[in-house]
């Protein structure tokens, strides 16, 4: 009796159906193929080979190398001994030469060493004291009735130089006479010629570019002295309307005397320049004569001076300074 609680109690087991059998294929017998008879090949005729003539027989190589084959079998005559060969004589001669050179080197070293010791001994020996000599008898001068004229100090020779003022500069000769005068509005060519004669050499030329507020200038430079000449292009004003057509600058490197109207000397210190009472300035930069810059008011070209002290070098520049 089946169990009511078993869900698979009423199920019958599954049996797969039988597979239908496959009919076997019968193989048809193959008919035998008739083979065509092969053609018989004609036999090849063998060509007779040419007979070789017998050549000379090769001799078996002996123990000697081939280059010795043509040598005679008789033993060579013994080599006669060289008359100059004395059994190692060359080595003896080389040894004698080397020994001689070594001996010379030793002698040279000894000689140098002896000379060195001699010089050292001479340096260490104290110098002999000089033998004192008897003092010479001094003659007592006798008073004479004729007075001896005393030598008067000679006056220093005058030298040529440059004097700078508010209106320009002058050049004086050795006697102090003025030989050239230049105003700031004058052409630069005569001044270049006079300064070349003063310094004894032609100047070196340079150029200073301008900008929106400053004109361009051509520079003529000597040792410690520079002359500036304005360079005008088509867009600039005429020379007559330029406040500083020319101006100068000099420093401590100049080799001729230079004086100015403020008392500045080229060997002064910054404190000494400040003691002269500049209009403005501190440290090493000072301005003198700032009230002279009146060109745009009255057309007068009267320049003040800008003084710069850098260490032991003093530079003075006379030029127009707008608004200062």
For residues 235-258, give the mean pLDDT: 93
Find, among 214, 172, 223, 292, the residue nearest to 305 by Cα.
Answer: 292
In a domain, 2, yes or no: no
pLDDT surpassing 80 at residue 86? no
- How does residue 207 score in pLDDT terms, banded at 50, 70 and 90? very high
CA distance 231 to 239: 9
In a domain, 213, yes or no: yes
Higher pLDDT, 295 or 4: 295
Whole-angstrom CA distances from 308 to 4, 257, 270, 283 are 132, 18, 8, 9
- Say what the pTM is: 0.51
In a domain, 248, yes or no: yes
In a domain, 24, yes or no: no
In a domain, 286, yes or no: yes
Higher pLDDT, 135 or 41: 41
Between 48-57, 112-121, 192-201, 306-315, the lowest mean confidence (pLDDT) is in 48-57
In a domain, 307, yes or no: yes
Count the domains in the chain.
1
**Count of other CB atoms within 10 angstroms of residue 145:** 4
SS3 content of the chain, % helix, strand, coil (to 5): 20, 20, 60
| pLDDT tens-digit series, residues 160-194 | 899 999 999 999 998 889 999 999 999 999 999 99
In a domain, 61, yes or no: no
Range of the domain at 251: 161-319
- How does residue 158 score in pLDDT terms, banded at 50, 70 and 90? very low
Pairing of strands 258-259, 161-164: parallel
In a domain, 52, yes or no: no
- How does residue 93 score in pLDDT terms, banded at 50, 70 and 90? confident
């Amino acid at each position: 009796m089946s169990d009511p609680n078993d869900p698979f109690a009423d199920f019958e087991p599954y049996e797969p159906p039988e597979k239908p059998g496959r009919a076997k294929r019968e193989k048809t017998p193959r008919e035998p193929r008739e083979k065509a008879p092969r053609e018989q090949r004609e036999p090849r005729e063998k060509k007779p080979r040419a007979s070789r003539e017998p050549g000379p027989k090769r001799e078996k190589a002996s123990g000697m190398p081939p280059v010795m084959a043509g040598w005679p079998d008789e033993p060579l005559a013994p080599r006669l001994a060289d008359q100059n060969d004395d059994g190692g004589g060359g080595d003896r001669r080389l040894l004698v030469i080397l020994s001689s050179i070594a001996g010379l080197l030793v002698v040279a070293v000894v000689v140098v060493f002896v000379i060195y010791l001699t010089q050292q001994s001479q340096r260490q020996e104290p110098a002999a004291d000089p033998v004192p000599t008897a003092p010479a008898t001094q003659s007592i001068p006798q008073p004479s009735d004729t007075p001896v004229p005393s030598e008067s100090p000679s006056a220093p020779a005058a030298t040529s130089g440059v004097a700078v003022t508010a209106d320009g500069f002058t050049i004086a000769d050795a006697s102090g006479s003025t030989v050239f005068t230049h105003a700031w509005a004058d052409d630069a060519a005569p001044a270049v010629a006079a300064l070349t004669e003063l310094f004894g050499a032609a100047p070196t030329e340079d150029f200073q570019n301008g900008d929106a507020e400053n004109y361009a200038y051509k520079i003529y430079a000597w040792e410690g002295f520079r002359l500036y000449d304005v360079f005008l292009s088509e867009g600039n004003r005429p020379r007559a309307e330029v406040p500083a057509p020319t101006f100068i600058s000099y420093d401590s490197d100049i080799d001729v005397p230079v004086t100015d109207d403020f008392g500045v000397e080229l060997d002064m210190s910054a404190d000494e320049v400040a003691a002269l009472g500049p209009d403005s300035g501190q440290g090493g930069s000072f301005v003198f004569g700032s009230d002279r810059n009146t060109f745009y008011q009255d057309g007068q070209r009267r320049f003040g001076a800008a003084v710069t002290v850098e260490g032991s070098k003093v530079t003075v520049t006379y030029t127009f300074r707008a608004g200062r």
